[in-house]
């Protein structure tokens, strides 16, 4: 019995006829690829993506401005794709329908990029086109209604041998078109995979490479080929985004593995619910980091004795919609690490609100702070791990200004000065990835 693969292709795989030809080759290469979820054509060298052009068109329509120029660009983009594939497809019919239905609203208009492209690919492959409106259920806030989606998609798709499904939109309980939040296209594919109980979910994009350490610091860092969903979520937090947390949780719960593949080479990143027994590696799978964080240090005598200080402090950040990446508390002080471009714009306002909320003894703001994450299953269960980390940093002349272990034993976060970032990465790579002895006598 053959496996069932759900494949999701992003907008970069649909940018032009050449990348689309590559996408079609990939689909045809494996008969197990039976359900394909597609995005709207993405950005090219000469123009922005289709979805952004659709939003611009709707904005012009709302403002009672001339939108025909933008419609013309959208039409030309699809005609270039169709001509490049050497097929017959009535682009003018679809654009006329779009023109007549501009009054249906932003969600409807924003969904047409995927809708039209899905119809093109379905006709080219001679596969069934399934409108996402029929199989994707969304809540009013753009989040998926999973249970209703599973019911709709399972009933509709299981009767089909092969199907093309647009991503990015679905239907509400009221029967209107609703788009997912931007950047949620992986969710469409994962929902299909879970609904039909697929054996594998594939995500195809321009680049899928993940290294065991920052390649700009460690040029010969090895590629990472397999991680768990739990590790993928930890990497998301530090800035290496493989797929959204919600997608990882959904697929993990359904026990469906995921691969992230590049349309340009043979590299494949496998994300699995649990590491296979035949995979052997060091406890640290990846070292990832980012620079240029801000650090807010707040001193308030007796802070540890009154719970309301924490509540008031974080309510202030919530008010301004700024999330703290990390915070470390002491008896009379707290250090908050964040990275948000909005903070620089409203810095004085935030400081004034903090002063009003908790009347601190002092507040200082500094920058040039780096966070480095060691990510790996079961890191917290290894004896002597912190000793090895501190020793490797000390021998490299790096002072750790913050260290925090995740409660699930999947990561250790280290804060250092930006000036020490590269030295810290190199030292940790030797100790944790290459597993080199720190001392000549091999104590660690």
The DSSP-derived string for 289-358 is EEEEEEEEEEE-TTGGG-THHHHHHHHHHHHTT---SEEEE-SSEEEEEE--HHHHHSHHHHHHHHHHHH
137 DSSP assignment:
B
Nearest to 27 by CA among 90, 118, 115: 118
Q: How confident is the model at residue 240 (pLDDT cuts 50, 70, 90)?
A: confident
Residue at token pair 């013309």: 72
Average pLDDT, the chain: 89
User: Would you state the pLDDT for residue 441?
Assistant: 45
- Which residue shows structure tokens 């809708």? 115
- At 37, phi and psi to the nearest 5? -110, 125
Distance (Å) of CA 104 to CA 55, 100, 101, 244, 393: 13, 9, 6, 30, 59
Of the ranges 88-102, 177-191, 290-304, 384-398, the best mean pLDDT one: 88-102
- Mean pLDDT of all residues in 90-97: 97
Enclosing H/E stretch for 269: strand 268-272
Query: What is the per-residue pLDDT for 45?
Result: 65
Beta bridge partner(s), residue 8: 37, 203
Tell me the whole-structure pTM to 2 decimals.
Answer: 0.85
Name the β-bridge partners of 178.
170
Q: Give a three-class secondary structure readout of 157-201.
A: HCCCCCEEEECCEEECCCCCEEECCCCCHHHHHHHHHHHCCCCEE
User: Can you tell me the mean pLDDT for 374-387?
Assistant: 80
Chain mean position to CA 421: 24
Give pLDDT, residue 380: 67
Question: Which residues on neighbouring strands pair with residue 228, listed in sequence order?
Answer: 272
What token pair was written down for 415? 């804060």
Neighbouring C-beta atoms of residue 213, cutoff 10 Å? 26
Residue-wise pLDDT tens digits, 28-85: 999 999 999 999 998 876 678 999 999 999 999 999 999 999 999 999 999 999 999 9
Mind listing the pLDDT tens digit for each residue in 124-167?
999 999 999 999 999 998 899 999 999 999 999 988 999 999 99
Q: What is the pLDDT of residue 308?
A: 75
Angle at 221 between CA 207 and CA 225, to 5 degrees: 55
- Average pLDDT of the segment spanning 92-99: 97
Residue closest to 260 by CA, chosen among 247, 246, 250:
247
> Is the four-CA dihedral 202, 205, 207, 211 of positive or negative sign?
negative
Share of the chain above pLDDT 70, in %: 93
Q: Is the pLDDT of residue 188 over 80?
A: yes
Give the three-state DSSP class for 1.
coil
Stretch 248-275: mean pLDDT, rounded? 91
More confident residue, 185 or 354: 354
* Cβ atoms within 10 Å of 278's Cβ, excluding its own: 5
In terms of Cα–Cα distance, which of 264, 258, 280 is closest to 209?
264
DSSP letters of 199-214?
SEEEEEES----BSS-
In this predicted model, what pLDDT tens digit does every residue of 293-316 receive, in sequence order?
999 999 988 776 666 777 888 888
Distance (Å, whole) CA 258 – CA 271: 5
Using only C-alpha atoms, the chain has a radius of gyration, in whole angstroms, of 25
The full length of the chain comes to 444
Tokens at 350, concatenated: 């935030």
Q: DSSP letters along 80-98, please?
A: HHHHHHT----HHHHHHHH
Mean pLDDT of 90-115: 96
Pair of tokens at residue 133: 């409106």
What percentage of the chain carries pLDDT values higher than 90? 56
Asked if 294 and 366 touch (Cβ cutoff 8 Å), the reply is yes
Beta-bridge mates of residue 294: 338
Tokens of 337: 């690490």
Question: Is residue 101 classed as helix, strand or coil in its secondary structure?
Answer: coil
Q: Give me the torsion for CA of 152, 157, 158, 164, rounded to 10°.
A: -160
pLDDT band at 247 (very low <50, low <70, confident <90, very high): very high
């Amino acid at each position: 019995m053959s496996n069932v693969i759900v494949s999701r292709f992003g907008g970069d795989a649909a940018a032009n006829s050449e990348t689309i030809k590559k996408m079609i080759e990939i689909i045809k290469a494996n008969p197990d690829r039976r359900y394909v979820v597609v995005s709207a054509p993405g950005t090219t060298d000469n123009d922005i993506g289709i979805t952004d052009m659709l939003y611009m068109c709707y904005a012009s329509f709302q403002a009672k401005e001339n939108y025909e120029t933008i419609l013309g660009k959208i039409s030309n983009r699809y005609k270039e794709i169709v001509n490049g594939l050497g097929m017959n497809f009535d682009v003018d019919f679809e654009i006329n329908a779009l023109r007549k239905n501009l009054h249906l609203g932003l969600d409807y208009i924003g969904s047409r990029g995927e809708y039209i492209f899905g119809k093109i690919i379905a006709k080219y492959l001679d596969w069934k086109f399934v409108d996402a409106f029929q199989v994707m259920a969304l809540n009013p806030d753009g989040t998926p209604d999973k249970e209703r989606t599973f019911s709709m998609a399972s009933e509709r798709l299981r009767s089909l041998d092969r199907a093309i499904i647009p991503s990015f939109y679905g239907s509400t309980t009221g029967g209107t078109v609703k788009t997912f939040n931007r950047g949620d296209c992986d969710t469409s594919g994962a929902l299909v995979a879970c609904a039909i109980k697929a054996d594998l979910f594939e995500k195809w994009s321009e680049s899928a490479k993940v290294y065991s350490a920052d390649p700009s610091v460690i040029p010969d860092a090895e590629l990472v080929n397999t991680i768990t969903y739990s590790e993928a979520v930890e990497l998301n937090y530090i800035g290496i985004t493989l797929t959204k947390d919600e997608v990882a949780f959904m697929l993990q719960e359904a026990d469906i593995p995921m691969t992230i593949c590049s349309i340009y080479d043979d590299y494949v990143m496998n994300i699995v619910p649990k590491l296979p027994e035949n995979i052997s590696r060091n406890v640290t799978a990846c070292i990832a980091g980012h620079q240029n964080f801000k650090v807010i240090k707040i001193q308030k005598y007796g802070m540890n004795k009154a719970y309301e200080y924490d509540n008031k402090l974080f309510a202030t950040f919530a008010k301004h919609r700024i999330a703290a990446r990390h915070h470390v508390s002491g008896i009379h002080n707290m250090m908050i690490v964040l990275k948000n471009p909005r903070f620089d714009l409203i810095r004085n306002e935030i400081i004034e609100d903090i002063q009003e909320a908790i009347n601190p003894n002092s507040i200082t703001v500094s920058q040039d702070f780096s966070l480095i994450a060691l990510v790996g299953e079961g890191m917290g269960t290894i004896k002597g791990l912190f000793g090895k980390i501190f020793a490797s940093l000390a021998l490299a002349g790096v002072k750790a200004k913050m260290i925090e272990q995740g409660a699930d034993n999947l990561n250790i976060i280290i804060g250092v000065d930006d000036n020490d970032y590269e030295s810290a990465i190199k030292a940790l790579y030797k100790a944790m990835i290459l597993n080199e002895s720190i001392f000549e006598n091999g104590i660690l």
